[in-house]
Amino acid sequence: MRGKMTPLLEVKNLVKYFPVHRGFFKRSREYIHAVDDITFSLNRSETLGLVGESGCGKSTAGRTILSLIEPTGGRVFFQGRNVFELGNREKNHLRRHMQMIFQDPFGSLNPRLTVERIVEEPLITHRMGATCERRRKVQETLKIVGLLPEHMKRFPHEFSGGQRQRIMIARALILGPSLIIGDEPVSALDVSVQAQILNLMVRLQRQFGFSYVIISHDLGVIRYISHRVAVMYLGEIVELAKTDELYKNPLHPYTIALLSAVPIPDPRRHKQRIILQGDVPSPLNPPSGCRFHPRCPYRLDICDTKKPVTHDRGMGHAVSCHYYAEGETRRLPSIPPATGDERQCG
Ligand code: SF4
């Protein structure tokens, strides 16, 4: 059913570069390639996980999609309208339907405002409802996220990390959005609290039917909450598939290496850990050809110079790697297990 519906969100060839000025007169200009030509779509009531190491561009992608930062290129269609072509007024109107939950529930809430004012603020900004209606709406929304009416008059410092994230969720929820982008929404929380917040997010999606883009470096969080997963490396999406398919049958060498690092909670089972060599290259000067080639244990000659094209291997499982070029049926060769030293390093 999902595949036949018009997507809620379509991101097409999105690019975001940040200029860096160097030299005495700051004349020399280089660019950080934060997001480089990413394309994906998101259906209604669907969750897409964006996963990758720190600095791979996933948070920049989220902020650019919401127009919180200006794009360098590409298009973002939300409910069929190109967000980047809208005027300020239309963009503001659209923002009611596109909300964000930030990583840090401690730093994201204004310490001088009561919870009531924090959660009410989006209604005031969009001039929605009279004072008494807004208060009732705040009360209802706090209840939905598991907070009490008496919490309304308290300040953020009086709450635990999990409660603060509930306040953030209530603030995102109060306008009735169709899309919520969560930027590492649980990474600042204890593991036990993470599970509560993730369960709450799943329940709210079932109740209200909105869509999520969840940005995280945590493969466990992404697996739990996402219907589909996009793996990012150095500003590019290298693999995209349904969650079960991606975790059972990863194709891209980077995805395989990431998943090989996830511990299995069974001491009788051993997994071959793949240790990637070297650091993530600088996004100021990304490698030619396949950006992963300096670290790829499967590297071919062509990988140094030619950028791989993304191919759909069936059932929406897309991968960007020369091993899977169109018409190719070869499979990745097995890699020798990591040495003892490498295991310690990893
Ligand atoms: Fe490795 Fe080449 Fe595939 Fe890039 S294109 S992931 S370097 S095999």
Ligand 1 centre to CA of 24 (Å) is 39
* Cα 196 to Cα 201: distance, rounded to the nearest angstrom: 9
Nearest Cα residue to atom 7 of ligand 1: 293
What was the pLDDT predicted at 346? 29
Ligand 1 centre to CA of 297 (Å) is 8
What was the pLDDT predicted at 270? 63
CA 26, 30, 34, 36 torsion: positive or negative?
positive
Ligand 1 centre to CA of 287 (Å) is 12
User: What pLDDT digit, counting tens, does each position of 230-263 carry?
Assistant: 999 999 999 999 999 999 999 999 999 999 877 6
Contact 293, 304 (CB under 8 A): yes
CATH class of residue range 9-333: alpha beta
What was the pLDDT predicted at 47? 98
* Cα 173 to Cα 145: distance, rounded to the nearest angstrom: 9
What was the pLDDT predicted at 339? 42
What was the pLDDT predicted at 103? 81
Which of ligand 1's atoms lies nearest the C-alpha of 293?
7
How many C-beta atoms lie closer than 10 Å to residue 137's C-beta?
A: 18
Ligand 1 centre to CA of 251 (Å) is 11
What was the pLDDT predicted at 9? 97
pTM of the model: 0.90
Strands (E), 167-281: 179-183, 211-216, 228-233, 236-242
What was the pLDDT predicted at 152? 93
Structural domain boundaries in the chain: 9-333
Nearest Cα residue to atom 8 of ligand 1: 299
**Collapsing DSSP states into helix, strand and coil, what is residue 128?**
coil
Show the ligand 1 pocket: residues with CB < 6 angstroms: 252-253, 290, 292-293, 296, 298-300, 303, 308, 321-323
What was the pLDDT predicted at 342? 42
Q: Which residue ranges of the chain lie beneath pLDDT 50?
A: 1-3, 336-346
Nearest Cα residue to atom 5 of ligand 1: 321
